[in-house]
Each structure stands twice: as structure tokens, then as C-alpha cells.
Amino acid sequence: MLNATLKQLSLQLAQKKFSSAELTQFHLDRIARLNPELNAFVTVDAARSLAQARAADAQIAAGKAQPLTGIPVAHKDIFCAKGWLTTCGSKMLANFVSPYDAHVVERLNAAGAVILGRTNMDEFAMGSSSETCFWGPVRNPWDRARVPGGSSGGSAAAVAARMAPAAIGTDTGGSIRQPSALSGICGLKPTYGVVSRYGMIAFASSLDQGGPMAKSAEDLALMLNVMAGFDARDSTSLERPDEDYTRLLDAPPTGDRAKPLSGLRIGVPKEYFGAGLGSDVGAAVEAALAQFEKLGAKRVAISLPNSALSVPAYYVIAPAEASSNLSRFDGVRYGYRAPEYTDLPDMYRKSRAQGFGAEVKRRILIGTYVLSHGYYDAYYLKAQKIRRLIAQDFVDAYEQCDLIMGPTSPSVAFGLGSMSSDPVQMYLNDIYTVSANLAGLPAMSIPCGFGEGNLPVGLQVVGNYFAEARMLQAAHRYQLATDWHLRQPAGVE
Amino acid sequence: MPLSLPEVKRVAWLARIEITDAEAEAVQGHLNGIFKLIEQMLSVDTEGVAPMAHGQDLAQRLREDRVTEIDQHALYQSIAPQVEGGLYLVPKVIE
């Protein structure tokens, strides 16, 4: 059960080698053993998970199994799930039991997947290290003195330590890809609008996108098949025909069988290999690119000239949207209310001061400032124009290539506490990931080797709009030829 | 353009977040570091560039004008800090 793919687990469930209840219990036992040290899960409710597993077993017995029926999936604590504590890593929502399901949760439930528990995360998804959690930091299974990345660090650590076969996360500026890279797993942020944001606690609505995190590209494809779909309750959800994201995985390669990726043009942006990139990460990424060439892909040198502006533009746009989204937390309708106050404005101010952590407050203040009178044009409007330039860079690049590849993160996992006193240094971790969110493009990270401290390195694959199936195919072919994605941390057997 | 301490306090007031003098000073340093990063974009020529609001340039979808929601106020208010008679209770606003 430990290292099986989702397809293998599904087959074994169908063959009655074990039941979903047994599979779920197996993972609950692993959580009980490993989580006290890793802190990847913040809520586990064995009775609830096992009830769902037994219902899945009944579906399987009745011959009504779908591909994910009976598979336990860890949920980032940002997805509202009816009856589950949904805290978003914040004291503000420490007592929030969701009265409804997110669209993604509805879809996973309808597919028969089991909610294995709720994973830890940076508060309101604001962070790149999973250290700003109200519930304490998550530790990296590869080295417990290091961070797992963030904000979906709990989901990444859960999959890396094999506490969950797969997980779901969200990505506003890299929050699926960067923890996937730092924890040695695979993660995909779909094209903006492919996965509904309904019931996903909002951080920056024009950038937020939910997606799968798992051990392989094939598993990601199976998860995305369930997660993607139109939802009228999200005004930016896209009405598109259903897509089978696994459809290209097993397609017989045309022509030379040793070169299944022949014809694929991989754009390598020179801006992603400059100063700031760790030489260990650079070497692993170069080796991966060489492997793709061996598989028949052609390497094309490209330029994304406005890359350096992506972090500055992101740290205007994301906080601006966050300051607006988080204004709903006022101590009136749900969430934290300060115990003592003098009048209504004082209740708002004290509830928000006590309920939010330092990083969330910082971002609310940045957002409030850039949207305030006299600064809107200089900052917010300017950032939106820069956003256009960044998106146009990709439009131009995709004239010359099919996929873009480079590093996911400039370094391997860094030490706990090593960056938490310097927000700017922490923000620069997002240098390679935020532009895909600004442009709305799909992007993923897959393991591609090891760097300093024998820690995992992630390769980022960015596709054109709706190129998920093509990205997953390329990643799958790479994973058939290499075994980086099969490596697992020591001490979690 | 560094933020002054009174500006930091004013922004916190706008954001409805209580802030002590000591907190404001600590936050001021962090915010000014972040704005230094942000200001890299200010010198870029964006003359004639249309602002981009989000990743998909789509028109707002409209829906039929009919009731789709059912009344669930009891469920939603079950998690509120203070309610009475279907109303959320807050400190008195009007004397």
C-alpha cells in the first residue's frame, strides 16, 4: 500500500486485496505514528474517514467504483468540507466548522474518495515555508530541521512521508509547486478557471487555483480528472467540455519508440538560470533537460524579459486582493471575536488584531495601502499593466515552444526559521512560480534530482493555456525513464 | 518612498487592525523593505499597456434571474459568535 500508484490502489481495491477501510486505517496509523513530529495534519477524524471508506467499499462491492473510489486523499485546510474543522491555518478560523462543501470537495466525495484529514498550511495560504501556521510549523520529511515549502506544506509533507497516497492544495503564487519541489513530490496548478474556487477560502481571487499533489504525473492526471469541472458558483469557472487528463499518458509513441517525446519543443528561459539560482538546483534541472532531449524533445532557448518584475507585481496584486477578501473576517458572522471591546469599530479592530498572525496583517496592510486614495494608480494599476507584459512574454514564447521548463525554486528546502525574519528574502523564493499565476497558465513541479544536503529538487513545467494533458504526458514519459519520483525520505518506512 | 510611522498607523486604521506603537515600528521596517522590492516596477514604461485584471480575459457570465438558494440561515448562524432571533448581535451602534 505504501508506494502504490493510485491506479494500482484502485485495482487492488477492485480485486478485494484490501478494503478502503483497511487502506484508510493503514494511512491513519501512519499519521498517528509520523505526524507528531512532522505536524502535516491539523485535523484527523478517524470515525468520519472510516465511515466514508465503508461507504466506498459498498460502492465497490456494488460494482459502482470510479477511479478514485476508496482512495484516501489529504485535504489542505483551506477547502471547506461540511462538518470538518476548516481553519485555513489561522486563529481567526480556529473554531470554524464548515457548514458546506467546496466544489472540489463535492466532486471528490461524489467520486468516492475518502477525506483522510486536513493538512497544515501557512495562515490563509500566505507563505512559502509553512511556518506562519497558527498550529505550528510543518517539518520536511527529508530533513526535519528544514521547511517543507508552502503554503501547501502539510499536503506536500503528507504525500512525501507516505501518510497519504495523494493530496489537494492551492496555488496563488507557487503554493502547490514550491512545496512539491522542496518535499520531493509532484504538484500541478491548473489553468486559471479549470478548478472551481467555490468553497476554497479566498486569498487572491484572480490568482488562486486548486490542484492535485501526488507521487507521479499519472496520479496527478487521475486527481485532476475529478477536481476539474465547471461550477456556476465561481464566476471565473470556465465552461469547457470535460477533458480526460490521462488521455495522452498511454498514447503509443509515434515513430521512434526510444524517443516518445520527439516533436516536443521545450523552451528554456534564460532568465530562470541567472544569478540567484543555486548551482545544485541548476545542475539537477540541466540533467533533467538533457533527459528530455534523450527522449526526443528539442531544447529551444527563449526569453521571458519581464520575469524580474513578476515578484514586485505579484506583491502588489496578491496583497491588494487579499486585503479586500479578508475584510470579511470581522468577528460578526463567524470566526474569532475578541473577548473584550468598547464599541463596534473597536470589536473589528481587536478581533482582527488578535485573530490574524503577523504575515497576514503585513499583507493586509500592503494591500490596503496600494488600494488607498492617491496610490491606486501608482501601485495597483501599474502592477496590472506589468501583469499584461508578463502574460505577453508567455504568448510570445509559445510561438517558439510547446512547454517551458526550468527550476521551481531557487534552492532546496531551507532551514526552519532561517528566513522568517526577512519577508523580502522569503518572497524572492517565488521568483520562478508567480508569473504562471499572473498569466493564468498551468504549471507543475516534478522531482528531478537532489541538491545540497541530499534534498529534493523540483523541475517546473509551464504549459500554454489548457495544456495540462500535454504537460502530464511529458512528465509521465520522463518518469517512465527516471526514478526520482520514486525516492522517499529515510525514516518513514 | 518610505512610509512614515503615522502612515503605517493610518493604513492599520483603514484596515481595521488595532496596532500598538511598538508593533507599528516593527511593521514599518518590514513594509519599507517590501516597498523597496515593489518599486522596481515603477520605472518600467507601461504607456499604452492595458491593465490585466485576471488570467482569462472573459466577459462576466450572467445567470437567469431566478431563485437558486434555499434558506439556510439557521445552519449558517449556528457558527456565529452571537445571534438572537435570526439576527447577528454586535455592540450598540446608535444610542
**Strands, E assignment, A48-151:** 72-76, 114-119
* Residue ranges of chain B with per-residue pLDDT less than 70: 1
pLDDT of residue B1: 64
Query: Is B31–A366 a contact, with Cβ atoms under 8 angstroms apart?
Result: yes
Q: Would you mind telling me the total number of residues written for chain B in this entry?
A: 95
Q: Whose CA is closest to A366, among B86, B32, B73?
A: B32
Q: Which residues contact A297 (CB under 8 A, 6 or more apart)?
A: A261, A262, A264, A265, A266, A474
Q: Is the dihedral of CA A335, A339, A344, A347 positive or negative?
A: negative
Query: Is B37–A315 a contact, with Cβ atoms under 8 angstroms apart?
Result: yes
Q: Whose CA is closest to A213, among A204, A202, A224?
A: A224
Taking a C-beta distance cutoff of 8 angstroms, is the pair A142, A450 a contact? Answer: no
Number of H helices, E strands in chain A: 15, 11
The pair phi, psi for residue A206, each rounded to 5°, is -85, -5
**Antiparallel, parallel or unpaired: β A114-119 and A72-76:** parallel
Which site among A348, A369, A380, A466 would you substitute to test the B interface, given the most B Cβ atoms closer than 10 Å to its Cβ? Answer: A369
Query: How many Cα neighbours within 13 Å face the side chain of A341?
Result: 22
**Strands, E assignment, A304-454:** 403-407, 443-451
pLDDT of residue B61: 83
CA distance linking residue A181 with residue A187, whole number of Å: 8
Q: Of these residues, A151, A196, A216, A411, which one is catalytic?
A: A151
Return the CATH fold of B5-41.
Answer: Histone, subunit A (1.10.20)
Which site among B45, B46, B52 would you substitute to test the A interface, given the most A Cβ atoms closer than 10 Å to its Cβ? Answer: B52
**Cα dist. A135→A77, A88, A105, A353, A380 in Å?**
11, 10, 23, 18, 33
The three cell numbers of residue A45 are: 477524524
Q: Please, what are the averages of pLDDT over each run of 10 residues along chain A (493 residues)?
A: 95 97 98 98 98 98 97 98 98 97 98 98 97 97 98 98 98 98 98 98 97 98 98 93 95 77 96 95 98 97 97 97 98 97 97 98 97 92 97 98 98 95 91 98 98 98 98 98 97 81
The three cell numbers of residue A80 are: 471547506
The answer, for B75 touching chain A at a CB cutoff of 8 Å, is yes
Residue A205 catalytic? no
The pair phi, psi for residue A427, each rounded to 5°, is -65, -35
Q: Whose CA is closest to A486, among A451, A444, A448, A452?
A: A448
3-state helix, strand, coil in chain B (%, to 5): 40, 5, 60
Q: Whose CA is closest to A238, among A188, A195, A190?
A: A195
The three cell numbers of residue A416 are: 526552519
The pair phi, psi for residue A143, each rounded to 5°, is -160, 110
Q: For A384, which of B19, B33, B53 is closest by C-beta distance? A: B53
| Residue A486: DSSP 8-state | G
pLDDT of residue B2: 84
**Cα dist. A34→A41, A176, A422, B23 in Å?**
10, 22, 30, 37
Chain B positions in Cβ-Cβ contact with residue A368 (cut-off 8 Å) = 11, 14-15
Residue A175 catalytic? yes
Residue A76 catalytic? yes
Find the radius of gyration of the CA atoms of chain A: 21
Query: Is A437–B90 a contact, with Cβ atoms under 8 angstroms apart?
Result: no
pLDDT of residue A493: 77
| Residue A484: DSSP 8-state | G
The answer, for B85 touching chain A at a CB cutoff of 8 Å, is no
DSSP alpha helices (H): ranges in A356-467?
358-371, 382-397, 423-427, 434-439
Chain B positions in Cβ-Cβ contact with residue A96 (cut-off 8 Å) = 79
